[in-house]
Structure 1
Amino acid sequence: MPVNLNYRFLIRVAISLAMAAALAGILILEVLGHHGQSVPLWGRESMAVDLITFSLTFGFSIGWLATKLTWQALRKKQVLPLHWHLKSQTLIDRLPTNLLHRSFMLGLAGVLLAMITLTLFHLKHTRQLPYHHYLILFILHTVSLTAVVTVMAVYRALGDRVPKLKVIKQKGTAALQ
Structure 2
Amino acid sequence: MTITTNNLSKVSKPSGLAIKLSDRADAGQTVGFLFEDIEKNAEQLRPLLANVAVYDANGILLLNQTLRKLWDFCRKHIEYKFDPKNQEVLYSPRRVWHQKFGDCDDQTKFLLCFLFMLKIPFKIRIVGYNKNRGFAHVFPVSWTENGKEIILDYVPECQYFGHTPPYLFYKDFHK
Task: Give 1 or 2: higher strand fraction.
Answer: 2
Higher-Rg structure is 1
TM-score range normalised by the length of the shorter chain: 0.3 to 0.5
Task: Give 1 or 2: higher helix fraction.
Answer: 1
TM-score by length of 2: 0.32
TM-score by length of 1: 0.32
